[in-house]
């Protein structure tokens, strides 16, 4: 039951991250152009480094880390578990052409 609740909360994280228009547009553009990719640990990685990409990844990861910590505390689950569940949700909803890490850590294109 806790894992189901945790899964629902992870889905809420995805929706909250996408809810900020400017933030989502920047992230969506960066994903579409292959500048950033989704890691299998719930965070974003820069694939093509630039000052803008580095700043975007830092902002996205800081927001995610804070949200994962909040969900973790509310559900008595380790942050890593919350982040992994969120990664599955995020990767599952990526647009075609987006890059992500598969389970073995290799970068693939959806």
Residues 40-97: tens digit of each pLDDT = 999 999 999 999 999 999 999 999 999 999 999 999 999 999 999 999 999 999 999 9
Q: Which residues pair with 71 in a beta bridge?
A: none
Q: What is the pLDDT of residue 20?
A: 42
Q: What is the pLDDT of residue 24?
A: 37
DSSP 4-66: HHHHHHHHHHHHHHHHSHHHHHHHHHHHHTTSEEE-TTSSEEESS--HHHHHHHHHHHHHHHH
Does 6 have pLDDT greater than 70?
no
Does 9 have pLDDT greater than 80?
no
Q: What is the pLDDT of residue 84?
A: 96
Task: Report the alpha-carbon distance of residue 36 to residue 45 in Å, rounded.
Answer: 6
* Spans of all domains in the chain: 2-109
Q: What is the pTM of this model?
A: 0.78
Helix (H, G, I), strand (E, B) or coil at 101: strand
Average pLDDT over residues 23-38: 84
Residues 35-46: tens digit of each pLDDT = 999 999 999 999
């Amino acid at each position: 039951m806790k894992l189901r609740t945790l899964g629902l909360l992870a889905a809420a994280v995805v929706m909250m991250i996408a809810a900020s228009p400017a933030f989502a547009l920047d992230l969506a553009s960066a994903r579409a152009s292959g500048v950033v990719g989704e890691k299998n640990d719930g965070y974003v990685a820069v694939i093509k480094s630039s000052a803008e990409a580095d700043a975007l990844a830092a902002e996205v990861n800081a927001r995610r880390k804070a949200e994962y910590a909040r969900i973790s505390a509310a559900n008595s689950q380790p942050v890593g578990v919350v982040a992994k569940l969120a990664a599955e949700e995020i990767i599952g909803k990526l647009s075609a052409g987006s890059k992500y890490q598969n389970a073995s850590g290799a970068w693939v294109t959806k």
